[in-house]
Amino acid sequence: MQEPHPFSRFVAILARGKTKTRPLSLDEARDAMEMIAAGDALPEQIGAFLMLLRLKEETPEEIAGFTLGTRSRFDLPAEVPQVDIDWSSYAGKRIQLPWFILSALALAQAGYRVFMHGTDGHTPGRVYTQETLERLGVPIATTLTQAATQLREGNFAYAPLEALSPTLRRLIELRPVFGLRSPVHSFARMLNPFDAPMMMQGIFHRGFMDVHAGAAILLNQPHMAVFRGEGGEIERRPNKPTVVWTTHGAAAPVEETWPALLPDPHQPADEAMNVADLAALWRGELDHAYGLASVTGTMAVALRTMGKAATMDAAQAMAESIWSARDRQRLIAPALAMQD
C-alpha cells in the first residue's frame, strides 16, 4: 500500500466534511507553507489546498502561519536595512488613480524609510503600482538586496512579489485558472521582509479587517493599520468616513473612525486614469481636491499609527506639513534616481 504524501495531511484537515473539518493551527499553516515554498507539495495538492481555504475563509492563525512559513524562505541581504513602514500593494486601481504612491514618496522624502511590495497584471483593467512607478521614473528593485540599497540611499524601494517569493508569485498568477483570488492575496500583504515596526494594510472586504488585525497580534507586529481602502489599496477615501483598525503588539485592536475630508460623498470615476496627473499634483501644477485629500489623508493614518501624532487632527496637520515641504522637483532622492 502506497504511503500518503506528507502534504496530504494538510488537505485532509480542510476536507473531512462538515463535522470534522477544522481550520489549520498556526504551526500547521506555517509547516504547510514551508513545504509549498520548498517545492515539496504537488500541484494538485496546492490547488485543492488553496481552494478549500478559500471556501471556508482564512483565520488569523492561518494567515500568521502562512506568513511565517514564507518568511523562512526569504533571500535576505547580508545587511538588513532598518525600515519604518512596510507598505503592501496587491490590488491595483480601476476607479481612481493610485494617489497613495505620492503618500509613500512624501513620507520617504520626510525621512521615513518606506518599503513597498506587490504584484501587477493579475486582474485586467487595473492600474498597478509597479507600472505607475516605472512611468514616474522610480526604479524597481529586482531583489531584496537591491531594495536594501535603494532604501539606504533614497528611503524608498518597491520590489515585486517575485523578489520576495517566486513561489507566491506563481500562485497568484493562478487566479484566471481558479477563477477566484486565493489566500495568497491575503497573506502576501503581511510578509514585511525587512521587519518594519509599522505595517499598512488596505483591504476591499470589511470582513477581513479582524482577520488581518488578529494575524498582526499573533505575529506580535509592533504597529499595524488596516482599513477598507479605495480599490482595496492602502488609500483613504477622503470623501467618506474611514474605519481604521490599529494593532500594537499583543494588545487588542483599536477601532477609530476617521472623518471625511471632503464635503461631497460622491466622487465620479476617473475615466482617463492618466498617471501623468500624479506627477502634476506633486509638482503643484494640478488642482485636484480629491487627489490631494487622498494623499494627505492616507499619510495621516500612517503617522498616527506610528505614534507620531496623538490625535487624528494632529496627524492630518502633520501630513499637510510634510506635503507642503516636499521637493516639488524630485519624486525620489537623487542617489536612488541615478540607479535607474
Domain coverage including residue 197: 85-334
- Is there a single domain that holds both residue 188 and residue 59? no
Q: Are 238 and 261 in contact (CB under 8 A)?
A: yes
Assign 87 to helix, strand or coil: strand
- Is there a single domain that holds both residue 43 and residue 128? no
Q: Are 325 and 244 in contact (CB under 8 A)?
A: no
pLDDT at 125 over 90: no
Q: Are 69 and 32 in contact (CB under 8 A)?
A: yes
For the segment 271-287, the average pLDDT, to the nearest whole number, is 96
pLDDT at 103 over 70: yes
- Is there a single domain that holds both residue 34 and residue 97? no
**Number of domains into which the chain is organized:** 2
Q: Give residue 333's pLDDT band: very low, low, confident or very high (50, 70, 90).
A: low
In a domain, 340, yes or no: no
- Is there a single domain that holds both residue 186 and residue 131? yes
In a domain, 80, yes or no: no
In a domain, 43, yes or no: yes
Q: Give residue 205's pLDDT band: very low, low, confident or very high (50, 70, 90).
A: confident
- Is there a single domain that holds both residue 100 and residue 216? yes
In a domain, 24, yes or no: yes
Assign 203 to helix, strand or coil: strand
In a domain, 294, yes or no: yes
Q: H helices of 137-249, where?
A: 144-154, 161-164, 166-172, 175-178, 184-187, 209-218
Q: Give residue 340's pLDDT band: very low, low, confident or very high (50, 70, 90).
A: very low
User: What is the model's pLDDT at position 85?
Assistant: 98
Q: Which of 211, 225, 223, 271 is nearest to 248 (CA)?
A: 223
Cα three-residue angle 248-77-106, rounded to 5 degrees: 55
Assign 98 to helix, strand or coil: coil
Order of strands across the sheet that contains 198-203: 156-160, 114-118, 85-89, 198-203, 223-228, 242-247, 254-258
Q: Give residue 122's pLDDT band: very low, low, confident or very high (50, 70, 90).
A: low
pLDDT at 50 over 80: yes
Q: Of 71, 95, 120, at which residue does a domain stop?
A: 71
CATH of the domain at 194: 3.40.1030.10
CATH of the domain at 14: 1.20.970.10
For the segment 39-56, the average pLDDT, to the nearest whole number, is 95
Residue 327 sits at φ, ψ, to 5 deg, of -85, 105
pLDDT at 332 over 70: yes
For the segment 280-309, the average pLDDT, to the nearest whole number, is 97
Q: Of 18, 42, 71, at which residue does a domain stop?
A: 71
- Is there a single domain that holds both residue 236 and residue 308? yes
Cα–Cα distance between 308 and 184 in angstroms, integer? 32
In a domain, 110, yes or no: yes
The residue with cell 507600472 is 131
Q: Of 45, 71, 97, at which residue does a domain stop?
A: 71
In a domain, 65, yes or no: yes
- Is there a single domain that holds both residue 92 and residue 39? no
In a domain, 296, yes or no: yes
- Is there a single domain that holds both residue 120 and residue 249? yes
User: What is the model's pLDDT at position 121?
Assistant: 73
- For 15-34, write each residue's pLDDT tens digit: 988 788 999 999 999 999 99
- Is there a single domain that holds both residue 115 and residue 226? yes
pLDDT at 335 over 80: no
- Distance, first Cα to last Cα, the chain: 58
Paired residues of 246 in beta bridges:
225, 254
User: What is the model's pLDDT at position 36?
Assistant: 97
Beta strand 85-89 with 223-228 is unpaired
pLDDT at 339 over 60: no
- For 169-200, write each residue's pLDDT tens digit: 999 988 888 888 888 988 999 999 999 999 99
- For 131-167, write each residue's pLDDT tens digit: 999 999 999 999 999 999 999 999 999 999 999 999 9
User: What is the model's pLDDT at position 179?
Assistant: 86
Which of 48-57, 307-316, 325-334 is modeled with the greatest confidence? 307-316
Residues 6+ apart with CB under 8 A from 182: 50, 51, 53, 54, 171, 172, 174, 175
- Is there a single domain that holds both residue 51 and residue 109? no
Residue 223 sits at φ, ψ, to 5 deg, of -145, 135
- Is there a single domain that holds both residue 294 and residue 160? yes
- Is there a single domain that holds both residue 205 and residue 121? yes
User: What is the model's pLDDT at position 168?
Assistant: 95
Cα–Cα distance between 190 and 204 in angstroms, integer? 15
